[in-house]
């Protein structure tokens, strides 16, 4: 694999060889574009224009003079392989008709089928996944374990569960399943909290809000905003508890929010990631709250969640004050065998980067890691740890954008549209490489959701970003192909079919790395379920060890594994496909 089509050094050498030669004058007209093409190809990511991808759908926020809060916060996106053809398709969430918004023409979500040639076809109507309200986010999971991923679309008002029929169409089964979650739902995640092998559903809920509860907020101290409404800080609205739904295994769910200790913790929740912070084999939840302390729901044996954000040191920033938590993720960034946490916040709050201390407490290492300086003026939403260059170390990408379209009248240094940020992990720490990562990281956008997925199956994990009131941005990864890799599709048999909670350890020569397949992460978004294991320039893997979650907790070790391709590993089966 790997399309090394004459890029990089040969082209640079060619360009430099032109200098001072007689041909240079003849090339003067074409050189700039040729050079910029070289720059674009050498950048780790390049934006795929809609003219090339065929993705022409655009998000509508429904921005109004009243400045209703939901209008500034959506929406999410997902990579999923809805037809199981081995190629990642795309789902995009839109707003829609509700009590605060009456669009002049009907709006809909979008499902784009991957044509396997870098282009996509809109199949939304045929698939029957248009949505039906003011959409926020999407969580993908095969809740009925039929091998086809299902869609849970969160909305302001009432959320929706689309069961995948396995024939390219979906059926709205929300009522039968009992997961409508009325209110303002934001992110959701599929995971198996009680290790019974079935995917349960956690749904974040934001504040108690509808049109009758809307407040008119403004900025009277800012002359340029005199008489204008502004988005209210969420502190003016009441917090609400999130939902936890237990999968009954018959297509229905039971609301266990009360029983499991979720409901006793009202929050203003945006992002959620299912992870195992104490390596006890039970999936915990890290939830970002806006103007409230973040939650760390530690799973006590599948019987109860204990909210431990405060004592764990992840509820607040160092100052003990609640921040505006948005997106979250979890990964073992420093490869010490323990999962770390990350949360994005608003400008001047600094993002939180929490390193696991192995005792259910964390250190905020935002400052020494350079995250504090880089994020000081940024408002972050979606984010994800991933190894974009397949060197074996987990890097970080963050989508930014301020929620307030008038923010530039308030702050000199803060903008409504903001740049993406990319941090490269050298193995010794994260380095902000945004400025040298090409045009994709210099172009300000109003980003919200962020999903990871390898849409062209080249082993270089690509990025999809959903924007508020704008077209989505699809970034093609050019860097991952420079190294070797192995792609894994994991299929649980006794464990949940999506293998959420599985820990994969691999050895390639001197490189040993470990990854957990977390549930969710980012903001309102869902990701390619496959894992890509980078091995750098090493040309073979010695072994791969799969530790499946409960109920089996089976450990499998596979050898003679190829590189630079995707394989499927099924729980308990010695052979990969």
Residue 319 Cβ, how far from another protein at the closest point, in Å? 4
**Which strands, in side-by-side order, build the sheet including 421-425?**
380-386, 395-400, 421-425, 430-432
Give whichever of 67 and 513 is closer to another protein, judged by the CB atom.
67
Residue 117 Cβ, how far from another protein at the closest point, in Å? 41
Give whichever of 303 and 357 is closer to another protein, judged by the CB atom.
357
Give whichever of 257 and 369 is closer to another protein, judged by the CB atom.
369
Give 231's DSSP letter. P
Report the 10 Å Cβ neighbour count for 16: 9
Question: Burial, 2: exposed, middle or buried (Cβ in 10 Å; 0-12, 13-18, 19+)?
Answer: middle
Give whichever of 292 and 498 is closer to another protein, judged by the CB atom.
292
Give whichever of 313 and 380 is closer to another protein, judged by the CB atom.
313
Give whichever of 374 and 544 is closer to another protein, judged by the CB atom.
374
Cβ-count burial 280-319 (b if 16+ within 10 Å, e if not): ebbbbbbbbbbbbbbbbbbbeebeebebbbeebbbbbbee
Tokens encoding 503: 């820990």
Q: In whole angstroms, give the CA distance from residue 339 to residue 330.
A: 6
Residue 360 Cβ, how far from another protein at the closest point, in Å? 11
Residue 413 Cβ, how far from another protein at the closest point, in Å? 4
Preceding peptide of 551 cis, ω within 30°: yes
Give whichever of 87 and 354 is closer to another protein, judged by the CB atom.
354
Residue 370 Cβ, how far from another protein at the closest point, in Å? 8
DSSP 95-144: ---BTTB--SS----EEEEE-SSS-EEE-HHHHT----SEEEEEEEE-TT
Residue 414 Cβ, how far from another protein at the closest point, in Å? 9
Could you tell me how many residues make up the chain? 577
Summarize as ranges the residues that interact with another protein (CB under 8 A): 215-220, 226-230, 232-233, 235-236, 291, 310-311, 313, 316, 318-322, 350, 357, 363, 365, 367-368, 370, 372-374, 376-377, 412-413
Give whichever of 66 and 577 is closer to another protein, judged by the CB atom.
66
414: left (phi over 0), alpha (psi -120 to 50) or beta: beta
Give whichever of 212 and 413 is closer to another protein, judged by the CB atom.
413
Question: Burial, 408: exposed, middle or buried (Cβ in 10 Å; 0-12, 13-18, 19+)?
Answer: middle
Residue 349 Cβ, how far from another protein at the closest point, in Å? 10
Q: In whole angstroms, give the CA distance from residue 277 to residue 301.
A: 13
Residue 264 Cβ, how far from another protein at the closest point, in Å? 15
Q: Does residue 459 contact residue 485 with C-beta atoms inside 8 Å?
A: yes
Residue 217 Cβ, how far from another protein at the closest point, in Å? 5
Residue 310 Cβ, how far from another protein at the closest point, in Å? 6
Tell me which residue of 470, 434, 440, 551 sits closest to 196, measured CA to CA. 551
Please give the span between the terminal C-alpha atoms of the chain, in angstroms, as a whole number: 18
Residue 423 Cβ, how far from another protein at the closest point, in Å? 14
Residue 267 Cβ, how far from another protein at the closest point, in Å? 14
Q: Give the pairing type, strands 170-172 and 555-561.
A: unpaired
Q: Give the pairing type, strands 511-516 and 503-508.
A: antiparallel
Report the 10 Å Cβ neighbour count for 511: 18
Give whichever of 229 and 477 is closer to another protein, judged by the CB atom.
229
Residue 297 Cβ, how far from another protein at the closest point, in Å? 17
Report the 10 Å Cβ neighbour count for 9: 9
**Residue 141, C-beta contacts closer than 8 angstroms, at least 6 positions apart:** 149, 150, 152, 190, 199, 201, 498, 500
Give whichever of 15 and 225 is closer to another protein, judged by the CB atom.
225
Give whichever of 226 and 304 is closer to another protein, judged by the CB atom.
226
Give whichever of 373 and 573 is closer to another protein, judged by the CB atom.
373
Backbone angles phi, psi at 174, to 5 degrees: -55, -50
Reduced to 3 states (helix: H, G, I; strand: E, B; else coil), residue 355 is strand
Q: In whole angstroms, give the CA distance from residue 440 to residue 455.
A: 17
């Amino acid at each position: 694999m790997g399309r090394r089509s004459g890029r990089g050094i040969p082209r640079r050498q060619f360009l430099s060889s032109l200098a001072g030669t007689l041909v240079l004058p003849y090339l003067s007209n074409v050189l700039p574009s040729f050079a910029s093409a070289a720059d674009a190809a050498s950048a780790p990511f390049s934006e795929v224009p809609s003219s090339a991808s065929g993705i022409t759908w655009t998000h509508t926020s429904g921005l109004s003079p009243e400045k209703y809060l939901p209008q500034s916060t959506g929406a999410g996106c997902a990579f999923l392989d809805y037809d199981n053809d081995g190629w990642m398709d795309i789902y995009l969430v839109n707003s829609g008709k509700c009590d605060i918004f009456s669009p002049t023409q009907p709006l809909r979500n979008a499902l784009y089928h991957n044509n396997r040639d870098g282009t996509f076809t809109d199949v939304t109507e045929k698939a029957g996944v248009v949505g039906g309200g003011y959409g926020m986010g999407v969580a993908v999971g095969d809740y009925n374990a039929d091998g086809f991923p299902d869609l849970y679309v969160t909305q302001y008002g009432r959320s929706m569960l689309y069961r995948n029929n396995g024939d390219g169409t979906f059926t709205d089964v929300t009522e039968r399943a009992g997961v409508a979650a009325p209110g303002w739902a934001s992110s959701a995640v599929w995971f198996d909290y009680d290790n019974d092998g079935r995917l349960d559903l956690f749904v974040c809920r934001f504040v108690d809000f509808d049109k009758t509860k809307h407040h008119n907020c403004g900025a009277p101290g800012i002359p340029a905003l005199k008489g204008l409404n502004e988005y209210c800080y969420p502190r003016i609205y009441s917090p609400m508890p999130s939902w936890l739904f237990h999968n009954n295994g018959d297509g229905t769910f039971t609301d266990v929010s009360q029983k499991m200790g979720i409901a006793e913790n009202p929050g203003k929740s945006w992002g959620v990631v299912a992870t195992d912070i104490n390596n006890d084999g039970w999936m915990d939840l890290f939830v970002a709250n806006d103007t409230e302390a973040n939650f760390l729901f530690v799973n006590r044996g599948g019987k109860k969640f204990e909210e431990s954000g405060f004592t764990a040191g992840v509820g607040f920033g160092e100052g003990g004050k609640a921040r505006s938590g948005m997106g979250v993720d979890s990964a073992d960034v420093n490869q010490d065998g323990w999962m770390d946490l990350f949360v994005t916040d608003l400008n001047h709050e600094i993002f939180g980067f929490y390193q696991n201390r192995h005792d259910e407490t964390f250190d905020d290492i935002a400052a020494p890691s350079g995250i504090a300086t880089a994020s000081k003026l940024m408002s972050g939403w979606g984010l994800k740890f991933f190894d974009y260059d397949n060197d074996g170390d987990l890097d970080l990408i963050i989508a930014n954008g301020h929620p307030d379209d008038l923010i530039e009248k308030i702050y000199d240094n803060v903008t409504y549209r903001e740049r993406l940020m990319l941090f490269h992990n050298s193995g010794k720490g994260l380095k902000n490489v945004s400025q040298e990562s090409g045009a994709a990281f210099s172009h300000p956008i109003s980003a919200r959701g962020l999903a990871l997925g390898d849409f062209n199956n080249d082993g270089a994990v690509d990025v999809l970003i959903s924007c508020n009131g704008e077209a989505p941005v699809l970034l093609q990864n050019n860097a991952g192909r420079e190294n070797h890799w192995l792609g894994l599709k994991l299929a649980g048999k006794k464990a949940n079919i999506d293998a959420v909670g599985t820990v994969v350890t691999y050895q390639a020569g001197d490189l040993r790395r470990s990854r957990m397949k977390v549930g969710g992460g980012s903001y309102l978004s869902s990701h390619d379920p496959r894992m890509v294991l980078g091995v750098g320039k090493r040309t073979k893997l010695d072994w791969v060890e799969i530790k499946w979650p409960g109920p089996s907790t089976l450990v499998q070790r596979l050898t003679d594994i190829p590189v630079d391709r995707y394989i499927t590993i099924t729980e308990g089966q010695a052979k990969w496909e």
